A and B are shown apart, each in its own frame.
Chain A
Amino acid sequence: MVYNTVLAMVQDVQEAEDVCQEVFIQAFQGIRQFRGDCRLQSWLYRIAVTRSIDQQRKAKTRNRIASWKNRIGLGNPEDVPEVTAFHHPGIQLENKERAALLFRAIQQLPANQRTAFTLIRVEGLSYQEVGEVMQLSVKAIESLIQRGQERLRKILHEYYSDNS
């Protein structure tokens, strides 16, 4: 459950494992701070989502610095990772390429839309459960999903227009 969410968020197997380990360590060390005002599962999801977003932010900053360094001739070209398609292991074979495209589009969504979309579409949580994780109302989650889907449609439209 935690690994699946983190993997869908960070979209890298190695990083997902690292983040997932951090999630369990944080949960183990902070279990006394768990007040019981939500389900333990939601609390775990919250840690996983926060950690994943932090990780992505760090990775983006790292890549940006590496590309700046490259531009001024100080960096190593190998430090800038190539953008590779992410293939989730749970995707059916016939949907593999489309799902990789969708995952790439999801990465372009704002963090809260990405979180809501991932928890609902990849993890299969209900709107209410996602609301509990993100500490938002069901209406707010519905709105996030709707805006996220509109944005995804736009991104995919651009992609298919350019590639047809």
Chain B
Amino acid sequence: MKKDIQKEIEKTLNSLDGIQRAEAPAFFFTRVQARLEKRSQSNSPVFFLVKRPALLVAVLTVFVVMNVVLITQLAQPVRSQAPAVAVKGSLQDFAKAYGLGNDNINY
């Protein structure tokens, strides 16, 4: 009985003798190539953003906020006139102080 079990064990251990190599399935390398191409495509910057919707939303939000800030700043022309008047006044003062006014010229 014990001898029989030992025999069976030896036979089973030797059952891999003469094993042939398994071949890869048909079109295996075509599939590998397709997978490689797919991966290289998904590594492009566009796919990088598409794969991360949170990042995409954040980038778009920053873009919109920057545009809104820029537009609101451009839509305030009144503020820019006040310093011009002040500059004009100070120039006249400067001309008066140094006698550069038209009234002082004698031909």
Contacts and interface: CB of A to CB of B under 8 A. Distances in A.
B19 A88 contact: yes
Interface stretch (B8-16, B67-75, B78-86): B8-16
Given A20-B28, A102-B13, A90 B21 contact: yes
A123 B16 CA distance: 10
Interface in A1-44: 1-4, 7-8, 13, 17, 20-21, 24-25, 28
B21 A160 contact: no
Interface in A44-85: none
A98 B5 contact: no
Interface in A82-105: 88-92, 95, 98-99, 101-102
B39 A25 contact: yes
Interface stretch (B30-38, B46-54, B88-96): B30-38
Given A157-B5, A157-B9, A102 B15 contact: yes
Majority SS of interface residues in chain A? Answer: helix
Interface residues of B, number: 25
A153 interface: yes
B105 interface: no
Given A160-B8, A164-B5, A91 B15 contact: yes
Contacts of B13: 102, 149, 152-153, 156
Contact of A122 (B11, B16, B28): B16
Contacts of B11: 98
B22 A164 contact: no
Interface residues of A, number: 34
12 contacts: A8-B22, A13-B25, A20-B24, A28-B36, A91-B15, A91-B16, A102-B13, A122-B19, A123-B21, A149-B13, A156-B9, A156-B13
Interface of B: 1, 4-5, 8-9, 11-13, 15-25, 28, 31-32, 35-36, 39
